Structure 1
Amino acid sequence: MSEETSEDRFFREFGAAHAELRQAFARHVGMSPLRVQLLVRLRRDGEISHSNLRQALGIDGATVTRLVKEFEAEGLVGRRLDPGDNRYTLAALTASGERMANDLARSHQSYQERLLDGVSTHEQEVVLRVLRRVRANVTEQESR
Structure 2
Amino acid sequence: MTLKITAAALGAGLMLAGCASAPGRPTRASIEALPPACADFQVSIYFERDQARVTREARSVLKSAGAMTRGCKVDRARITGLADAVGAPDANMELSRRRAEAVTRALIRAGLGKAEFDVAAAGDAGATTRAGASAPLRRRADIVFEISKP
Q: Which has the higher contact order (CA 8 A, sep 6+)?
A: 2
**TM-score normalized with structure 1 length:** 0.23
Structure with bigger helix share is 1
- TM-score, scaled to structure 2: 0.22
Structure index of larger Rg? 2
Hey, which of these two has a bigger chunk of strand by percent?
2
